[in-house]
Structure 1
Amino acid sequence: MKTLGNLIRLFIRFLVVWFVDTISLLITAWVISGINIYPVNGTSVIVVATAAALLLGIVNLLIRPLILLLTVPLGWVVIFLVGFIINALVLMITSALMPGFEVDGLWAAFIGGLFLSLVNTILTTLLDIDNDESFYANLVKRQAARQAETEEGESTRGVVMLEIDGLSYWHIQKAVEDGYMPTIKKMMDEQGYQISRVDCGLPATTPACQAGILQGNNHNIPAFRWLDKESNRILAGGQAAAEIEPQLSNGQGLLEGGSSISNMFSGDATKSILTFSKIKAETKEDKKKRAQDMYLLMRNPYFFMRVLVLFFGDMIQEVWQGWQQRRKDVQPRLNRLHNGYPILRAATNIFLRDVGGYLTILDIIRGVPAIYTLFAGYDEVAHHSGPWTRDAMLTLQQFDRVISSILMVMERDAPRPYEFILLSDHGQSFGATFEQRYEIGILDFIKEQLPQGTSAVGTGGGDDGTIGVSAMMGELENLEDSRLAGTVGRAMVSGTQRAMKSNLDQQPGTQEAEPAKVTLCYSGNLAQVYFDLHPRKIALNELNAAYPGMVDELVQHEGIGFVVAYEDDFEPVAFGKNGARNLHTGDVIGEDPLEPYGDVELRSWQVRRIADFSNSGDLILNSTLYPDGTVAALEELIGNHGGLGGEQTDAFIFHPADMEVPETRNSQEMMAILKSRVGLPGPTPIPDRPVEPVVDPWTFAVLGKGLSQVGKWLDYAFHAIKLSR
């Protein structure tokens, strides 16, 4: 019965794709000079185009695999480029065989082939037709299945974990309620899935949170970037991951025996790809496995054509959305063209999203027991447009389709039962930046409190899409070193690396600290401030003696909520405008400076924990939490995370109903929660749902509701044609 259902599904897909190909061919003939369709012997142009589209598909099916097979030794780049040449060749052969279909020369065939692919990709994307059932996708799936790590019929449960970087508990609820994530809503309605809030603790940054989730240990990571006084180096989360993971790992991380895809840390996975901590640290055999995955990815030309179209579409969308903000004078806002940001956004939101999704599907087909993949697109867009905005929510709508594809593969092609879990590492808070509010940046404000001539430097940024792009650059280097890329491929990969590196060189990474008396490392609305008076923590009295009045000015500034400094015995104390809290004893004098930020005992524990890190600054600054719930980033991001205040510490787990999610104080407590789901027997149980009452579809109320959803008519009609729900 399952085989019959698959045959029907494939036949319907064939008819739909044939229809799309016909429309694409008609549009191409209308736009491209030198490609013509005309009636023959009374046969209409539509019939000729329909027949030509069918013949084009047949010729493509016969010619393309043979030519691609001959080009395999030359590498994946040649395969990709030859794909475009094949389009021209197929058009010319079809023209020779099909009366009424004319291609006037090689140049018209080449341009026509490119344009035909472009139109076809746009139409299939708009109509939500994926290429998971194409010849090339099935070829890749078969190759992945031959590398299966488990036998068909394996009864223990694998777990697929997808992380949406920066999406808070409150924001995912809003996204589901507003219809941006229909797949998630359907799982809640039909399978009893739930969204549980978890507190990620401090710092609310990707390196600390991912180290906690994947390694179960994020000790001594006080921010996204920090100064190591002992070595006098600025360490940045992604770039420092390879150096600090060995210190954090006990060999029993979340992904022991599994796969890490597009993460900072590996979770002790057997295979890590696009993962910072392992890009340069693995053995030759490990690098070969990763290169093979990248090679399989390159085998599907439709995948890259689609990604290419969506990539440029996302760049255009970013320019449009930024212009709309300026036109409407939306405040606060940023310059969304700065440093070629639209390119970085498209790379993160489109390219890395789809590459990560594809690699995840390959590992599901192999039966890998635990898979963890990061999606950074929402976090990237929310940083620049705001976490509540429609601009950011649209990235979730796009990612929801990726989730749907992954769930379909889990159901149809996986050799074992899989459980699906969606989560975030931290949330994001919102607000005008410190500089936007007070017309002076935090670094310049500190400089004003220092004696004239005292040097001070600041460093920030990097907890964004540059992390994933840098990881991709590392994988390209790995592919270049392998023989899978071919001679031409290695040359082009090398060129791509240089282009990417020139953009990434503008981004701050792990580096020698500049000679300075004061070094400021900011992460969202949190900042670590280091002084060079001693190669150790510096007590408050020592700071007051060296820089009289500076700490008091920071504490009393309207934009600073609290400042952590150290007593003579190095006990950390949080100072506010009207009081202080000793973070070790809990003694409070005057007003508790942590009270505005929620549960004071929880917040005190979290602040004390990072204050006790040897890598923390001599001062720790956290911005004010304003009455409207916003915070002031100490760097130029209106959506931000790192410290306390707003939604940035409110992460979430989307999970089956039988999964218990206790309260947490730090992201490292999440590892045990997630790891308990790996290797359970059988499929995930689905709770009984109450039977919904039968509704008469012919009532005026139902008719009125249907008429009000005019925007969904085309989508419903198309799904009816596909016989899908």
Structure 2
Amino acid sequence: MRGVLGGRWRRVASQIGRSVAVWGVSTVTMLVLAGILPDFQLQSADGDSATTIAVTAAFGAGAFGLLSALVWPVLVRLLLLVPALVLGLLVFFLNGALLLVALRLNPAERGAVDPETAVVVAAAMSAVASATGAALAVRDDDAYRRRLYRLSARRRRPLPGPVSPGTVFVQLDGVGHDVLTGAMAKGLMPTAARWLGDGPPGAPGAEPTHRLTPWRTDWSSQTGASQLGILHGSTFDVPAFRWYEKDHQEVVVSNRPTSAAELQRRAVERTGDGGLLTFDGASRGNLFSGGADEQALVLSIATRRRSRENRSRAGYFAYFSDPANAVRTALSFVAEVCREIGQSTRARTSKVRPRVARGGLYPFVRAFATVVERDVVVAAVMGDMLAGRTAVYADLVAYDEVAHHSGPMSRDAEKVLARLDRALALIEKVAEHAPRPYRIVVLSDHGQSPGETFRARYGLTLADLVRAGCGLPVPRRAGRTRSGAEARAAVRAALRRPVEEEPGQRRPDRRSEPIVLASGNLGLVSFPDVHHRMSKEEIDARHPALLPTLANHPGIGFLLVRSERHGGVVLGAYGAEIPVDELDADPGPLAAFGPGAADAVRRTHSFPHTADIMVNSFHDPADGEVLAFEEQIGSHGGLGGAQAKPFLLSPIVLSDPVDDGEALVGAEHVHRVLRRWLRETDGPQVPIEDEPSERAA
């Protein structure tokens, strides 16, 4: 009993000592800033003694620290309805306002600062206080653990005495298998390399703790399909990232909250199961919930009314309630915006090819994905581990966002990989302080394939080419391209009449015009006035030049259409027409897309909402390049190259994902593997240590 009380007193004394040290450093920081900044004063107009100025600084630093601890969480809670991007920008101004209030609280009425200068002073003091507190807690495991508890900003749940190991699934969005191995070989991801036993000889952890397994996506190699399959066990009827549904007369977009909610509902209805995380799970930063009872930053619940069961925005409060974290993230946000502007300017002045426009709001979107989303999601995962949650699934989207605009193998993307590896190292460190052992599984949902855009190479978009092939008006610049001219010539030959509109000629009804959507290098063409999936014969009768124009275009690899005669056919250049049931014997245009392409195409052909014409771009097997129908030089969504080869990095204490010689194919297969691993953790029971003092923290 005496030992327990002694330990508690030592922790209290240690905490008081750290608080006094942080207060002292903050006071010195305030004095230094007052000496540097002309608009920041800590003395009266008549001048004061050094002792009086020091007392004023100490009072101001102490009041600022107390307000940050007491008032800041309330402010953040009130601002949860503010978009996260705006909240990140408000951090500076809110912090500056707290400093103004702290100086006004001085009974001696000394200390004054302009509002603009207050923002700078408050940011500097918060950063210094956070760094000091972290440095003092480095060698104190209890303090380190308490600091992480405060970071999570959630109450710990009571846990039973014996518990099995927990599992953390970290999804590195868009990181392909080859990109991961290349980054480890370059030393960019030392944590992942150490797990695979590639660390320095004789160093701790040199023996492998994980295994690396590649897997193959469906035709729709994008987060919407893959994550739905991984978390909910079904990718059925998800033909692309976005597609048109004729029966509902609307476009479904995977990252639209209403669409994500509907896709999750359909998957649950099809499988009859809530998802991978239904038992004591947490979903962080995902498109879908996986059936978790703890959800933060989950898109499929973003449109619901907030409640105790639906706390999608709570992840922001859990992180931004600590003003030091908020300031650090806000500073990193600004730095990332500046970094992106500098990198895009360098690429433009150096005339790097391929290249896409990176202006407008993109620098802020990139900074949100690479800084705010990463920090908030990692903090939420840390809180889940410290709370002893059984299963956690989190998505880090930083690499995917940067690789789209800078390229999958670019230096910009490699720097993001290095920062993601540090996030993995932090999660691994937190596992050492968690109340139960954790198995960390890292995986990706797809890769990315490089290549210039379809528009950059040919001067027109896929939509322009489809309209030209239908004999519809196209923009003048598109009509002047070689592809546009050839399409219009094909229409004239097929219809035996000019395409150009003549005076008084009636334009076609807009309801009959095709809807052309793009998902990376996968294009979808739908005719909304026809309420069923059109057949090749119907398309030829309406637009006799369209399918030949698309199939023979050098930027297009193959088409998939329904056939009244064969059920479904794959079309390629020079009149190639292979029934889907004969693709194994004669892959035809699919030969360049590697093994599994025929199965992926056949499966998509069976979906109710497959488009009238499915268009996959050209793919060069020699360099892995594809041509994106979107403005992306790193793309995914179709077949071709590294986009269809993600990875699964799993602890060797878990069973092998697949038997020897077997391939891991499809997100549904990955779901079954992850479910098996969760069942395996119900094995040996590990006693848990109850720490009331930590619960209080």
Q: TM-score, normalised by structure 2?
A: 0.77
Match of 2:351 in 1: 329
Q: 1:25 & 1:544 partners in 2: Cα distance?
A: 77
Q: Structure 1, residues 496-517: CA drift from partner, whole Å, max 9, x if none?
A: xxxxxxxxxxxxxxxxx97342
Q: 1:622 & 1:172 partners in 2: Cα distance?
A: 26
One-letter amino acid of the structure 2 residue matched with residue 409 of structure 1: V
> What pairs up with 1:456-471 in 2 under 5 angstroms?
none
Match of 1:117 in 2: 123
Q: Unpaired segments of 5 or more residues in structure 1?
A: 39-44, 97-102, 456-512, 686-725
> What pairs up with 1:522-561 in 2 under 5 angstroms?
522-532=518-528, 534-561=530-557
Asked whether the 8 Å contact 2:464–2:474 carries over to 1, the reply is no
Q: Structure 1, residues 443-481: CA drift from partner, whole Å, max 9, x if none?
A: 1112222124699xxxxxxxxxxxxxxxxxxxxxxxxxx
Are residue 150 (structure 1) and residue 156 (structure 2) matched? no
Match of 2:364 in 1: 343
1:424 to 430, 444, 455: 444
SS at 1:199 equivalent? coil
Asked whether the 8 Å contact 1:149–1:367 carries over to 2, the reply is no
Alpha-carbon shift at residue 35 of structure 1 (Å): 4.6
Alpha-carbon shift at residue 624 of structure 1 (Å): 0.9
Match of 1:211 in 2: 228
Match of 1:689 in 2: none
Q: 2:145 & 2:384 partners in 1: Cα distance?
A: 19
Q: 2:406 & 2:384 partners in 1: Cα distance?
A: 34
Are residue 272 (structure 1) and residue 269 (structure 2) matched? no
Asked whether the 8 Å contact 1:161–1:420 carries over to 2, the reply is yes
Q: Check 1:527–1:62 CA distance in 2 against 1; reply closer, same or farther (3 A cut).
A: closer
Asked whether the 8 Å contact 1:226–1:235 carries over to 2, the reply is yes
Match of 1:376 in 2: 397
SS at 1:521 equivalent? strand
SS at 1:584 equivalent? helix
Q: 1:49 & 1:682 partners in 2: Cα distance?
A: 63
Alpha-carbon shift at residue 104 of structure 1 (Å): 7.2
One-letter amino acid of the structure 1 residue matched with residue 235 of structure 2: N
Asked whether the 8 Å contact 2:72–2:322 carries over to 1, the reply is no
SS at 1:562 equivalent? strand
Q: 2:192 & 2:458 partners in 1: Cα distance?
A: 41
Q: 1:130 & 1:644 partners in 2: Cα distance?
A: 52
Match of 2:653 in 1: 658
Q: Structure 1, residues 12-71: CA drift from partner, whole Å, max 9, x if none?
A: 988997898588557634541145799xxxxxx9x9999999887666556654666998
Match of 2:383 in 1: 362
SS at 2:426 equivalent? helix
Asked whether the 8 Å contact 1:154–1:416 carries over to 2, the reply is no
Match of 1:263 in 2: 286
Match of 1:248 in 2: 267
Are residue 84 (structure 1) and residue 106 (structure 2) matched? no
Alpha-carbon shift at residue 398 of structure 1 (Å): 2.0
Q: 1:70 & 1:633 partners in 2: Cα distance?
A: 46
SS at 2:653 equivalent? coil
The percentage of counterpart residues that share the same residue type is 27
- Higher mean displacement: 290-299 or 50-59: 50-59
Alpha-carbon shift at residue 526 of structure 1 (Å): 0.6
Match of 1:477 in 2: none
Match of 1:226 in 2: 243
Alpha-carbon shift at residue 367 of structure 1 (Å): 1.7
Q: 1:300 & 1:542 partners in 2: Cα distance?
A: 62
Q: Structure 1, residues 587-609: CA drift from partner, whole Å, max 9, x if none?
A: 656x721111112xx21001111
Alpha-carbon shift at residue 534 of structure 1 (Å): 2.9
Q: Check 1:428–1:16 CA distance in 2 against 1; reply closer, same or farther (3 A cut).
A: farther
SS at 2:238 equivalent? coil
Q: Unpaired segments of 5 or more residues in structure 2?
A: 44-49, 198-204, 476-508, 687-697
Q: 1:253 & 1:158 partners in 2: Cα distance?
A: 17
Match of 1:408 in 2: 429
Asked whether the 8 Å contact 1:261–1:356 carries over to 2, the reply is yes
Asked whether the 8 Å contact 1:169–1:651 carries over to 2, the reply is yes
Are residue 451 (structure 1) and residue 471 (structure 2) matched? yes
Alpha-carbon shift at residue 303 of structure 1 (Å): 1.6
Q: 1:543 & 1:19 partners in 2: Cα distance?
A: 77
Alpha-carbon shift at residue 193 of structure 1 (Å): 1.8
One-letter amino acid of the structure 1 residue matched with residue 296 of structure 2: I
Are residue 667 (structure 1) and residue 667 (structure 2) matched? yes
Q: 2:190 & 2:20 partners in 1: Cα distance?
A: 26
Q: Check 1:293–1:683 CA distance in 2 against 1; reply closer, same or farther (3 A cut).
A: farther
Q: Structure 1, residues 644-664: CA drift from partner, whole Å, max 9, x if none?
A: 111001111111123312222
Alpha-carbon shift at residue 681 of structure 1 (Å): 4.6
Q: 1:416 & 1:33 partners in 2: Cα distance?
A: 53
Alpha-carbon shift at residue 188 of structure 1 (Å): 2.8
Q: Structure 1, residues 67-119: CA drift from partner, whole Å, max 9, x if none?
A: 669989977799977653443465688997xxxxxx97422598256335247
Are residue 317 (structure 1) and residue 360 (structure 2) matched? no
Are residue 174 (structure 1) and residue 182 (structure 2) matched? yes
One-letter amino acid of the structure 1 residue matched with residue 678 of structure 2: V
Match of 1:677 in 2: 677
Q: 2:131 & 2:684 partners in 1: Cα distance?
A: 32
Q: 2:391 & 2:414 partners in 1: Cα distance?
A: 28
Match of 1:308 in 2: 330
Alpha-carbon shift at residue 238 of structure 1 (Å): 2.2
Alpha-carbon shift at residue 399 of structure 1 (Å): 2.3
Q: 2:650 & 2:212 partners in 1: Cα distance?
A: 7
SS at 1:263 equivalent? coil
Asked whether the 8 Å contact 1:214–1:267 carries over to 2, the reply is yes
Q: 1:530 & 1:30 partners in 2: Cα distance?
A: 68
Alpha-carbon shift at residue 320 of structure 1 (Å): 0.4
SS at 1:381 equivalent? helix
Asked whether the 8 Å contact 1:28–1:116 carries over to 2, the reply is no
SS at 1:353 equivalent? helix
Asked whether the 8 Å contact 2:153–2:319 carries over to 1, the reply is no
SS at 1:361 equivalent? helix
Q: 1:203 & 1:354 partners in 2: Cα distance?
A: 29
Q: 2:181 & 2:134 partners in 1: Cα distance?
A: 25
One-letter amino acid of the structure 1 residue matched with residue 380 of structure 2: L
SS at 1:238 equivalent? coil
Q: 2:209 & 2:118 partners in 1: Cα distance?
A: 49
Alpha-carbon shift at residue 543 of structure 1 (Å): 1.4
SS at 2:113 equivalent? helix
Q: Check 1:321–1:129 CA distance in 2 against 1; reply closer, same or farther (3 A cut).
A: farther
Q: Structure 1, residues 306-334: CA drift from partner, whole Å, max 9, x if none?
A: 11111111111110010110121110001
Match of 2:150 in 1: 140
Are residue 631 (structure 1) and residue 631 (structure 2) matched? no
Q: Structure 1, residues 195-241: CA drift from partner, whole Å, max 9, x if none?
A: 22111222001111111100000100000011101121111112211
Q: Check 1:290–1:252 CA distance in 2 against 1; reply closer, same or farther (3 A cut).
A: closer
Asked whether the 8 Å contact 1:148–1:365 carries over to 2, the reply is no
Q: Check 1:244–1:670 CA distance in 2 against 1; reply closer, same or farther (3 A cut).
A: same
SS at 1:161 equivalent? strand
Q: 1:56 & 1:182 partners in 2: Cα distance?
A: 43
SS at 1:565 equivalent? strand
SS at 1:647 equivalent? helix
Q: 1:376 & 1:69 partners in 2: Cα distance?
A: 27
Q: 2:73 & 2:171 partners in 1: Cα distance?
A: 37
Q: Structure 1, residues 255-306: CA drift from partner, whole Å, max 9, x if none?
A: 112111121111121232221222335784413x556554443421112111
Q: Check 1:524–1:68 CA distance in 2 against 1; reply closer, same or farther (3 A cut).
A: closer
Q: Structure 1, residues 618-655: CA drift from partner, whole Å, max 9, x if none?
A: 11111111243211001111110011111001111111
